[in-house]
Homo-oligomer: A and B are copies of this chain.
Amino acid sequence: MKINAKTILFLSISLFLEMTVIAQEKVHTYVDPMIGSEGVGRVFVGPSCPYGMVKPSPDCTAGPNSGWLPIPKEVTGFSQVHVSGTGGGPKYGNIQIMPFSGGLDKLDQTSFRAEENVKLGYYETVFKENGIKTEITTGEKVSFYRITYPKDQVKALKIDPGFFLGEQEEPDGREAQQFVGSQIEIVSDTEIRGYSRIRGGWNNGRAYTVYFWAVFDQPIAKHVTYKDGKFYPNDRAQFDSGKKTAALVSFGNEGKQELNVKIGISFLSELKAKNNIKVEIPHWDFNAVLATLENKWEQLLNRIRLSADTSVDYKKMFYTGLYHTMIMPVDRTNENPLWTNNEPYYDDFYTIWDTFRTSSPLITLIDSKRKVEIINAMLNIYKREGYLPEGRSGNDNGRTQGGSNAEVVLADAFVKNLTGIDYELALKAMLKDATVPPGGNEEKEGRGGLLDYIRLGYVPYGTDRAGNRTIDYSYNDYNIAVVAKGLNKMELYERYMKQADSWQNLWRADYTDKGATGFIMPKDANGKWLDDIVFGESKIQKPTFKYTPVIIESPWYVCHWCVFFYEGTSWEYSFSIPHDVPELVRKSGGEKAFETRLDTFFNSNLYNVANEPSFLTPCLYHWIGKPYLSSDRISTIIKNNFNTSHKGLPGNDDSGAMSSWLAFHMMGLYPNAGQPYYLLNTPLIKQTTMTLENGKSFTISTKKRSDKNKYIKAAFLNGKPHNKAWISHDDIMNGGELLFEMDSKPSAWGTTILPPTK
């Protein structure tokens, strides 16, 4: 190439354009919905808008919680509502469709995938047997399917509102979804309407109804309707008689191969579902729907930008983490069938016990307006139904796993100065949890075992999950105290601050295990520590088993739900006192003993990365003045457990709980939910810039960061030394820069001014 002025000009322009492109790099492209899809992560892989109501996905058998399973598992169909990252019995999987070729004479149209292609907002698969390609994108309340049939094949489609996930033979199986009713009507040659009514599922909820309106861009040539095992070629409708209904329709084998299908859903009615299509996707442009969705995500995700040198893997892990955090709870404003709907309404809190620690604070940091909406929805649920949600799905509260952790969410909003929330009402709602037993169904809401907790200062063994309930309620009480103090209700403040020490009543000070002394252990209502705990309901025999701090579950014949600690051991829970780590350190024998105890915990595989109660534990070294040990642990945990693979999440993602834990740590921040600060650790990212909703920006930068230089030598906030290993929420909101100077060895930074405590 001959270099001349023109060439230079051209190269300059090219370079400028390229730089512009880099500057405007679309961060949403780093989202990989497949991260955490296999193994234990169970994330939803289909397209979803932020907090989107409709979540279309393949259902690979009726078993998996998110609907999806990896190839070669068969595909039953594509249903429109799913949850992400959950354990236990499935929920949803409503209004299934399935493209096929052939006669309209068979309800089961199960197929196998030859390939699959997933990116943010987009799902595509080609079936092995018939070569049909299905592409899916989505609006907030409308799924969009582009189905391409092989040439000259019959273009057939099943619409099956009788399908749902988690079906079991047993009529009232715990955690199983149960069929209540369904209906289908072929309205015109391009429209089908109907609904699916299902009860139960993981939260044992009351019946919910998903209404739909489906529209096709080709006319139906032939149809049969279906009910309860029989086909009706002459009937255009099957009314709800408590039996499963469906329709099989054919669009012939001529004309264009591409069939487009829009499925509006609603929790109010079929006409509302139709209107959702009209309002949201009045056209047939698949790519425009996808572009709109991408843009919504881009607006949210690019509020946090990572320095250009960040590896693609880290970008994927980070932005996918943010993405997973913002697909639940689900925005159902104007879709509430329970009360008039001019207020924000959210569903699928699944569950707050999982999400209060990291997902909820991350939403506050990125999208506090949304957080305010979510909290107002929670307060509306309290106003109309009597209790805040802990878990909630299908428009019904349930279940609680431990505490009434909505208290933490409310306190977190309060201490972070979120406005637009009636905190007097919030305190009232929290006090309801803390004072009024939830009654007959202690799993639904509120605090099970509350009366004993108040009377004895702990939940005695014999009440399900007595151990973690005591711990959770203690923290919840601290959160109540915080809000009470802020509202200048000092009497309440003192009462609940005192009650926040309740965890100490289950602290068995002289119990020793693996060199550590003092554990949260089961105690009966008479105050007696229990070494052997009873199981079973026999009145004649009293079978027992030995309870130790490493027991994670009782024997198989004891109900999983009735154990002392929910999904965890005493080793794990005995670190889980987020409001009073100094007292925990003291009770554990002082700083040295506590350090040894933490080391034992991590080095002996007692730490369970998959479980939320241990989320804060790697940071506990901060409270003994050794934040570098926290950073070491976190770095190792991430390296060993998180990656960009399909198995890249080490536990159920639980509505983004696991993902948001990762995203926070990658930035070098970690929240202690309910308290107005973030712990500081070595960031994985060289520079992170947050665009704040108040118009300011906040940057976390590192100097001399390398694999070797992994320790913080010094920190500067807006140029001034910042010697604390934590930063207040206000400091971030004020904007500016936090700079870490890195070094190859631990320093004295952050060792003297310990993190705040109650």
Contacts and interface: CB of A to CB of B under 8 A. Distances in A.
Interface of A: 171-172, 178-181, 183, 185, 195, 197, 199, 206-207, 209, 237, 239-242, 268-269, 271-272, 274-275, 334, 337-342, 383-384, 386-387, 432, 436-441, 445-446, 451
A383 B341 CA distance: 31
Given A181-B337, A239-B269, A436 B440 contact: yes
A665 to B, nearest CB: 38
Contacts of A340: 171, 178-181, 242
A181 B386 CA distance: 21
A437 B209 CA distance: 30
Given A199-B339, A438-B439, A439-B440, A181 B241 contact: no
Contacts of A197: 268, 337
Contacts of A199: 338-339
A371 to B, nearest CB: 24
Contact of A207 (B240, B338, B441): B338
A449 to B, nearest CB: 12
23 contacts: A172-B383, A180-B340, A180-B341, A181-B269, A181-B340, A183-B271, A199-B338, A206-B338, A239-B269, A239-B274, A240-B269, A241-B272, A241-B275, A241-B334, A242-B342, A436-B440, A437-B437, A437-B439, A438-B440, A439-B439, A439-B441, A439-B446, A440-B446
Contacts of A342: 242
B183 A269 contact: yes
A334 B271 contact: no
Contacts of A237: 271
Nearest to A278: B239
B441 A386 contact: yes
A386 B271 contact: no
A334 B242 contact: yes
Contacts of A274: 239
Interface centre among A195, A239, A274, A445 (most CB of B within 10 A): A239
A172 to B, nearest CB: 7
A62 to B, nearest CB: 17
Given A171-B340, A197-B337, A209-B337, 4 more contacts: A178-B340, A181-B337, A199-B339, A207-B337
Interface centre among A272, A340, A341, A387 (most CB of B within 10 A): A340
Contacts of A172: 383-384
B337 A239 contact: no
Contacts of A387: 440
A387 B439 CA distance: 11
A185 B439 contact: no
A272 B386 CA distance: 33
A241 B185 CA distance: 22
Nearest to A243: B340
Given A183-B271, A446-B439, A207 B339 contact: yes
A339 B178 contact: yes
A432 B440 contact: yes
Contacts of A439: 436-441, 446
Contacts of A183: 269, 271-272
Which 10 A-B pairs have CB atoms at the shortest separation, nearest pair first? Answer: A439-B439, A239-B271, A242-B341, A438-B439, A240-B268, A240-B269, A239-B275, A386-B440, A436-B440, A207-B338
A240 B178 contact: no
Contacts of A436: 439-440
A745 B440 CA distance: 56
A342 B179 CA distance: 12
B180 A337 contact: yes
A181 B211 CA distance: 15
A451 B436 CA distance: 13
Contacts of A445: 440
A269 B440 CA distance: 31
A42 B268 CA distance: 34
A272 B339 contact: no
A137 B162 CA distance: 36
A451 B271 CA distance: 48
A282 to B, nearest CB: 15
A180 B451 CA distance: 36
Nearest to A245: B271
A208 to B, nearest CB: 10
A229 to B, nearest CB: 15
Contacts of A180: 337-341
A67 to B, nearest CB: 23
Contacts of A242: 334, 340-342
Contacts of A269: 181, 183, 195, 239-240
A268 B268 CA distance: 13
Nearest to A383: B172
Nearest to A341: B242
Contacts of A272: 183, 239-241
Contacts of A383: 172
A566 to B, nearest CB: 21
Nearest to A184: B271
A625 B438 CA distance: 49
A440 B440 contact: no
Interface centre among A172, A185, A387, A439 (most CB of B within 10 A): A439
Given A436-B440, A440-B437, A240 B179 contact: no
Contact of A240 (B271, B339, B440, B441): B271
A172 B183 CA distance: 33
A508 to B, nearest CB: 29
A112 B179 CA distance: 47
Contacts of A440: 386-387, 432, 436-439, 445-446
